[in-house]
Structure 1
């Protein structure tokens, strides 16, 4: 039996996963990276994207993360995400509806309104989430 990697993914809302896996592929800010058991230690920031958890060559879980950090140590991989969602639990139609509502809010604001940039960031996040669901 091959060595397993201890993997934990935590968001401010909850711990989404903690367990032993074969391989994790994550969206680093400098590009995608993979982690196996006994990986060399490093830390990196994450961009919005999909974390894939593999058993053998099969993707067993897809988790969409909104930024955060990945910390690889001798104990395993820990991802601290600003926000995370299991993709199996998200419906494209719900994301599309939220995008439309957010866009209407953005369009209703004055160009100088300080909440515009926050809403635009949320819209961009939803766009990334929708792209992950349809690909």
Structure 2
């Protein structure tokens, strides 16, 4: 019994197919989703989604963040941004990292929500650089 996987970005439906397993970058760490998974909604951090079919990784997509809704039959990823890793640019990741670091350094250190948002953008940019290099 496969897992019905859908990956959606604000622009379009990127992927919709049955897969053996999907590994998502949940905010608490990498999370594998198999058939009959417990229902939950998880926050995603910047990272790579790995799609497993036939016992191996067949596709990888970078996501900058978002949410995933998991049911026993389905995993729906609502990504802020999703790009196949083959289309990533290390230079773009480095540009985003520099911008996020500058934003963090310019932020009032008492403004915790703004600091957290800048740190999330730094982590997401680092994940993009790592995924582009892989």
Deviations 1:83-117, CA, capped at 9 Å, x for gaps: 11111122334544x448848xx59xxx47xxxx8
Find out whether 1:23 has 2:21 as its counterpart. Answer: yes
Tell me the equivalent position of 2:57. Answer: 59
- TM-score for both structures, normalised by structure 1: 0.76
- Cα 1:123–1:17, aligned 2, differ >3 Å: closer, same or farther? same
RMSD value over aligned CA atoms?
Answer: 2.9
Q: Which one of 85, 88, 91 corresponds to residue 87 of structure 1? A: 85
Q: In the aligned structure 2, how far is the partner of 1:75 from the partner of 1:65?
A: 22
Q: Give the number of the structure whose alpha-carbon radius of gyration is greater.
A: 1
Deviations 1:11-58, CA, capped at 9 Å, x for gaps: 111111100110000111111110112212111111111010010221
Equivalent residues in 2 for 1:31-46 (5 A)? 31-46=29-44
Q: Which one of 10, 17, 32 corresponds to residue 12 of structure 1? A: 10
Tell me the equivalent position of 2:125. Answer: 126
Tell me, yes or no, if the aligned pair for 1:102 and 1:119 is still in contact at 8 Å: no
Gaps of 5+ in 2: 108-114
Residue 130 of structure 1 aligns to a residue in which SS? helix
Structure with higher strand content: 1
Aligned residues: 128
